[in-house]
Structure 1
Protein backbone atom coordinates (compact mmCIF):
# COMPACT_ATOMS: atom_id res chain seq x y z
CA UNK A 1 0.00 0.00 0.00
CA UNK A 2 2.84 2.34 0.91
CA UNK A 3 4.48 1.64 -2.48
CA UNK A 4 1.19 2.36 -4.29
CA UNK A 5 0.80 5.71 -2.48
CA UNK A 6 4.37 6.72 -3.33
CA UNK A 7 3.86 5.84 -7.00
CA UNK A 8 0.56 7.76 -7.09
CA UNK A 9 2.18 10.82 -5.49
CA UNK A 10 5.09 10.72 -7.96
CA UNK A 11 2.68 10.42 -10.89
CA UNK A 12 0.62 13.40 -9.73
CA UNK A 13 3.77 15.44 -9.25
CA UNK A 14 4.95 14.69 -12.80
CA UNK A 15 1.55 15.60 -14.25
CA UNK A 16 1.55 18.98 -12.48
CA UNK A 17 5.14 19.89 -13.49
CA UNK A 18 5.59 21.82 -16.76
CA UNK A 19 6.83 19.69 -19.69
CA UNK A 20 9.64 22.13 -20.39
CA UNK A 21 10.75 25.59 -19.43
CA UNK A 22 10.33 28.06 -22.28
CA UNK A 23 13.67 29.77 -22.78
CA UNK A 24 12.22 32.36 -25.18
CA UNK A 25 13.03 33.02 -28.80
CA UNK A 26 15.71 35.21 -30.34
CA UNK A 27 15.40 36.52 -33.89
CA UNK A 28 18.32 38.34 -35.50
CA UNK A 29 16.75 40.16 -38.45
CA UNK A 30 19.24 41.62 -40.94
CA UNK A 31 18.19 44.26 -43.45
CA UNK A 32 20.83 44.15 -46.19
CA UNK A 33 19.78 47.45 -47.79
CA UNK A 34 20.13 49.25 -44.43
CA UNK A 35 23.11 47.18 -43.20
CA UNK A 36 21.32 46.91 -39.85
CA UNK A 37 20.55 44.00 -37.54
CA UNK A 38 17.59 44.18 -35.22
CA UNK A 39 17.52 41.61 -32.44
CA UNK A 40 14.17 40.54 -31.02
CA UNK A 41 13.53 38.55 -27.88
CA UNK A 42 10.04 37.10 -27.64
CA UNK A 43 8.86 39.58 -30.29
CA UNK A 44 10.28 42.71 -28.62
CA UNK A 45 13.24 44.55 -30.17
CA UNK A 46 16.13 44.64 -27.73
CA UNK A 47 19.07 45.69 -29.94
CA UNK A 48 19.76 47.52 -33.20
CA UNK A 49 23.30 47.24 -34.55
CA UNK A 50 25.17 48.13 -37.76
CA UNK A 51 26.46 45.14 -39.73
CA UNK A 52 28.47 44.38 -42.83
CA UNK A 53 27.14 41.86 -45.31
CA UNK A 54 28.60 40.72 -48.64
CA UNK A 55 30.69 43.14 -50.67
CA UNK A 56 30.36 43.40 -54.46
CA UNK A 57 30.97 40.04 -56.12
CA UNK A 58 30.03 38.06 -52.99
CA UNK A 59 26.65 36.92 -51.65
CA UNK A 60 24.88 36.94 -48.31
CA UNK A 61 21.97 34.55 -48.88
CA UNK A 62 18.45 35.80 -48.15
CA UNK A 63 16.04 33.70 -46.13
CA UNK A 64 15.39 32.42 -42.62
CA UNK A 65 17.33 29.76 -40.73
CA UNK A 66 17.64 28.36 -37.25
CA UNK A 67 21.09 28.60 -35.73
CA UNK A 68 23.03 25.37 -36.42
CA UNK A 69 26.17 25.60 -34.28
CA UNK A 70 28.34 27.98 -32.25
CA UNK A 71 32.07 28.60 -32.21
CA UNK A 72 33.41 31.19 -29.75
CA UNK A 73 36.96 31.51 -31.16
CA UNK A 74 36.41 30.43 -34.77
CA UNK A 75 39.02 30.97 -37.49
CA UNK A 76 37.98 30.89 -41.14
CA UNK A 77 39.05 27.80 -43.05
CA UNK A 78 38.23 29.62 -46.31
CA UNK A 79 39.91 33.01 -45.75
CA UNK A 80 43.44 32.64 -44.34
CA UNK A 81 42.40 31.86 -40.75
CA UNK A 82 40.62 35.21 -40.47
CA UNK A 83 39.22 35.62 -36.95
CA UNK A 84 35.46 35.08 -36.62
CA UNK A 85 34.84 35.56 -32.88
CA UNK A 86 31.48 34.54 -31.43
CA UNK A 87 30.33 32.79 -34.59
CA UNK A 88 26.73 31.64 -34.91
CA UNK A 89 26.57 29.41 -37.99
CA UNK A 90 23.17 29.31 -39.63
CA UNK A 91 23.64 28.03 -43.21
CA UNK A 92 26.67 26.06 -44.38
CA UNK A 93 29.73 28.31 -44.07
CA UNK A 94 27.62 31.43 -43.37
CA UNK A 95 27.67 32.88 -39.87
CA UNK A 96 26.94 35.94 -37.80
CA UNK A 97 30.23 36.85 -36.11
CA UNK A 98 32.36 39.60 -34.65
CA UNK A 99 34.90 41.59 -36.62
CA UNK A 100 37.92 43.76 -35.89
CA UNK A 101 37.10 45.84 -38.98
CA UNK A 102 34.58 48.04 -37.17
CA UNK A 103 35.19 51.04 -39.43
CA UNK A 104 33.55 49.05 -42.24
CA UNK A 105 30.34 48.28 -40.34
CA UNK A 106 27.27 49.87 -41.87
CA UNK A 107 28.29 49.02 -45.43
CA UNK A 108 28.90 45.84 -47.45
CA UNK A 109 32.38 44.50 -46.72
CA UNK A 110 32.27 40.76 -45.99
CA UNK A 111 32.73 37.66 -48.09
CA UNK A 112 29.13 36.71 -47.27
CA UNK A 113 28.92 36.40 -43.51
CA UNK A 114 27.17 38.94 -41.31
CA UNK A 115 29.74 40.91 -39.37
CA UNK A 116 29.08 42.72 -36.10
CA UNK A 117 31.13 44.67 -33.61
CA UNK A 118 32.73 41.92 -31.49
CA UNK A 119 31.09 43.07 -28.26
CA UNK A 120 27.68 42.89 -29.96
CA UNK A 121 28.47 39.47 -31.40
CA UNK A 122 29.35 38.33 -27.86
CA UNK A 123 25.95 39.54 -26.60
CA UNK A 124 24.11 37.70 -29.39
CA UNK A 125 26.24 34.58 -28.81
CA UNK A 126 25.39 34.62 -25.07
CA UNK A 127 21.69 35.07 -25.80
CA UNK A 128 21.82 32.14 -28.21
CA UNK A 129 23.51 29.97 -25.57
CA UNK A 130 20.83 31.02 -23.09
CA UNK A 131 17.81 30.16 -25.29
CA UNK A 132 19.37 27.27 -27.23
CA UNK A 133 20.07 26.84 -30.94
CA UNK A 134 16.51 25.72 -31.74
CA UNK A 135 15.19 29.02 -30.35
CA UNK A 136 17.51 31.32 -32.30
CA UNK A 137 16.62 32.35 -35.84
CA UNK A 138 18.59 34.41 -38.37
CA UNK A 139 16.49 36.25 -40.97
CA UNK A 140 18.20 38.01 -43.88
CA UNK A 141 16.15 40.26 -46.14
CA UNK A 142 16.65 43.20 -48.51
Structure 2
Protein backbone atom coordinates (compact mmCIF):
# COMPACT_ATOMS: atom_id res chain seq x y z
CA UNK A 1 0.00 0.00 0.00
CA UNK A 2 2.83 2.42 0.85
CA UNK A 3 4.54 1.64 -2.45
CA UNK A 4 1.34 2.44 -4.41
CA UNK A 5 0.89 5.69 -2.48
CA UNK A 6 4.52 6.67 -3.10
CA UNK A 7 4.15 5.92 -6.81
CA UNK A 8 0.97 7.97 -7.09
CA UNK A 9 2.58 10.85 -5.19
CA UNK A 10 5.68 10.69 -7.40
CA UNK A 11 3.67 10.71 -10.63
CA UNK A 12 1.55 13.60 -9.35
CA UNK A 13 4.63 15.66 -8.51
CA UNK A 14 6.20 14.96 -11.90
CA UNK A 15 3.00 16.11 -13.62
CA UNK A 16 2.87 19.28 -11.52
CA UNK A 17 6.53 20.24 -11.94
CA UNK A 18 6.02 22.34 -15.11
CA UNK A 19 3.30 24.39 -13.40
CA UNK A 20 5.35 24.80 -10.23
CA UNK A 21 8.55 25.75 -12.05
CA UNK A 22 6.79 28.24 -14.34
CA UNK A 23 5.48 30.32 -11.43
CA UNK A 24 7.10 33.75 -11.69
CA UNK A 25 9.02 35.21 -8.76
CA UNK A 26 7.36 38.56 -9.47
CA UNK A 27 3.86 39.14 -10.84
CA UNK A 28 2.31 42.52 -11.64
CA UNK A 29 -1.40 41.77 -11.87
CA UNK A 30 -3.44 44.64 -13.31
CA UNK A 31 -7.21 44.75 -12.90
CA UNK A 32 -8.53 47.16 -15.52
CA UNK A 33 -12.01 47.31 -13.99
CA UNK A 34 -10.69 48.53 -10.62
CA UNK A 35 -7.65 50.38 -12.02
CA UNK A 36 -5.34 48.64 -9.55
CA UNK A 37 -2.14 46.65 -9.67
CA UNK A 38 -1.38 43.89 -7.20
CA UNK A 39 2.31 43.04 -6.98
CA UNK A 40 3.03 39.48 -5.89
CA UNK A 41 6.65 38.79 -4.92
CA UNK A 42 7.71 35.22 -4.14
CA UNK A 43 4.08 34.14 -3.81
CA UNK A 44 3.11 36.89 -1.34
CA UNK A 45 1.13 40.07 -2.01
CA UNK A 46 3.71 42.82 -1.56
CA UNK A 47 1.87 45.90 -2.84
CA UNK A 48 -1.44 47.11 -4.20
CA UNK A 49 -1.29 50.37 -6.14
CA UNK A 50 -3.65 52.53 -8.22
CA UNK A 51 -2.90 52.61 -11.95
CA UNK A 52 -4.18 54.26 -15.08
CA UNK A 53 -4.84 52.14 -18.14
CA UNK A 54 -6.27 53.14 -21.52
CA UNK A 55 -8.68 56.04 -21.74
CA UNK A 56 -11.76 55.96 -23.98
CA UNK A 57 -10.82 55.28 -27.60
CA UNK A 58 -7.51 53.58 -26.63
CA UNK A 59 -6.75 50.01 -25.58
CA UNK A 60 -4.68 48.23 -22.95
CA UNK A 61 -4.03 44.64 -24.06
CA UNK A 62 -5.29 41.78 -21.90
CA UNK A 63 -3.22 38.68 -21.31
CA UNK A 64 -0.03 37.48 -19.71
CA UNK A 65 3.57 38.27 -20.69
CA UNK A 66 7.05 38.22 -19.25
CA UNK A 67 8.99 41.47 -19.10
CA UNK A 68 10.82 41.97 -22.43
CA UNK A 69 13.08 44.95 -21.73
CA UNK A 70 13.67 47.70 -19.21
CA UNK A 71 14.36 51.40 -19.75
CA UNK A 72 15.05 53.57 -16.71
CA UNK A 73 14.64 57.01 -18.37
CA UNK A 74 12.51 56.21 -21.41
CA UNK A 75 10.85 58.87 -23.58
CA UNK A 76 7.92 57.93 -25.81
CA UNK A 77 8.69 57.71 -29.50
CA UNK A 78 4.93 57.71 -30.22
CA UNK A 79 3.67 60.53 -27.97
CA UNK A 80 5.83 63.68 -28.22
CA UNK A 81 8.74 62.42 -26.13
CA UNK A 82 6.45 61.99 -23.10
CA UNK A 83 8.44 60.82 -20.08
CA UNK A 84 8.03 57.14 -19.20
CA UNK A 85 10.32 56.66 -16.19
CA UNK A 86 11.17 53.15 -15.05
CA UNK A 87 9.54 51.46 -18.05
CA UNK A 88 9.02 47.72 -18.09
CA UNK A 89 8.07 46.77 -21.65
CA UNK A 90 6.00 43.60 -21.91
CA UNK A 91 4.23 43.62 -25.31
CA UNK A 92 5.61 45.65 -28.22
CA UNK A 93 5.27 49.35 -27.33
CA UNK A 94 3.18 48.61 -24.23
CA UNK A 95 4.86 49.15 -20.87
CA UNK A 96 4.31 49.65 -17.18
CA UNK A 97 5.90 52.99 -16.29
CA UNK A 98 5.81 56.00 -14.00
CA UNK A 99 3.75 59.07 -14.79
CA UNK A 100 3.80 62.75 -13.89
CA UNK A 101 -0.03 62.74 -14.01
CA UNK A 102 -0.40 61.37 -10.50
CA UNK A 103 -3.84 62.93 -9.98
CA UNK A 104 -5.22 60.74 -12.79
CA UNK A 105 -4.16 57.44 -11.20
CA UNK A 106 -7.07 55.19 -10.31
CA UNK A 107 -8.98 55.91 -13.52
CA UNK A 108 -8.41 55.35 -17.26
CA UNK A 109 -6.09 58.02 -18.68
CA UNK A 110 -3.31 56.45 -20.74
CA UNK A 111 -2.89 55.71 -24.43
CA UNK A 112 -2.66 52.01 -23.53
CA UNK A 113 0.29 51.61 -21.18
CA UNK A 114 -0.10 50.95 -17.47
CA UNK A 115 0.81 54.11 -15.56
CA UNK A 116 2.03 54.09 -11.96
CA UNK A 117 3.09 56.64 -9.38
CA UNK A 118 6.81 57.31 -10.07
CA UNK A 119 7.84 55.88 -6.67
CA UNK A 120 5.87 52.69 -7.33
CA UNK A 121 7.27 52.39 -10.86
CA UNK A 122 10.81 52.72 -9.47
CA UNK A 123 10.11 50.01 -6.88
CA UNK A 124 8.64 47.60 -9.46
CA UNK A 125 11.52 48.35 -11.83
CA UNK A 126 14.10 47.45 -9.16
CA UNK A 127 12.21 44.30 -8.17
CA UNK A 128 12.16 43.28 -11.84
CA UNK A 129 15.89 43.89 -12.11
CA UNK A 130 16.52 41.82 -9.00
CA UNK A 131 14.49 38.77 -10.10
CA UNK A 132 15.33 39.06 -13.81
CA UNK A 133 13.03 39.88 -16.72
CA UNK A 134 12.22 36.23 -17.41
CA UNK A 135 11.03 35.82 -13.82
CA UNK A 136 8.68 38.81 -13.97
CA UNK A 137 5.17 38.32 -15.29
CA UNK A 138 2.65 40.98 -16.29
CA UNK A 139 -0.99 39.87 -16.13
CA UNK A 140 -3.70 42.26 -17.35
CA UNK A 141 -7.34 41.35 -16.93
CA UNK A 142 -10.79 42.92 -16.43
TM-score bracket, shorter-length normalisation: 0.7 to 0.9
Q: Aligned residue for 2:54?
A: 54
Secondary structure of residue in 1 paired with 2:30: strand
| Mapped partners of 2:77, 2:100: distance in 1 | 18
Q: Aligned residue for 1:37?
A: 37
Q: Aligned residue for 2:77?
A: 77
| Mapped partners of 1:113, 1:96: distance in 2 | 6
TM-score normalised by structure 2 residue count: 0.83
Please report how far the alpha carbon of residue 42 of structure 1 lies from its aligned counterpart in structure 2 after TM superposition.
1.5
| Matched ranges for 1:1-142 at <5 A | 25-142=25-142
Provide the alpha-carbon RMSD of the alignment.
0.7
Secondary structure of residue in 2 paired with 1:134: helix
Specify every segment of 5 or more residues in structure 1 that has no aligned partner in the other structure, as ranges. 1-23
Specify every segment of 5 or more residues in structure 2 that has no aligned partner in the other structure, as ranges. 1-23
Please report how far the alpha carbon of residue 79 of structure 1 lies from its aligned counterpart in structure 2 after TM superposition.
0.1
Moved over 4 A (4+): none
Higher Rg of the two aligned structures = 1
Secondary structure of residue in 2 paired with 1:29: strand
Per-residue CA deviations over 1:21-54 (Å, capped at 9, x if unaligned) read xxx7100000000000000011110000000000
TM-score normalised by structure 1 residue count: 0.83
Secondary structure of residue in 2 paired with 1:60: coil
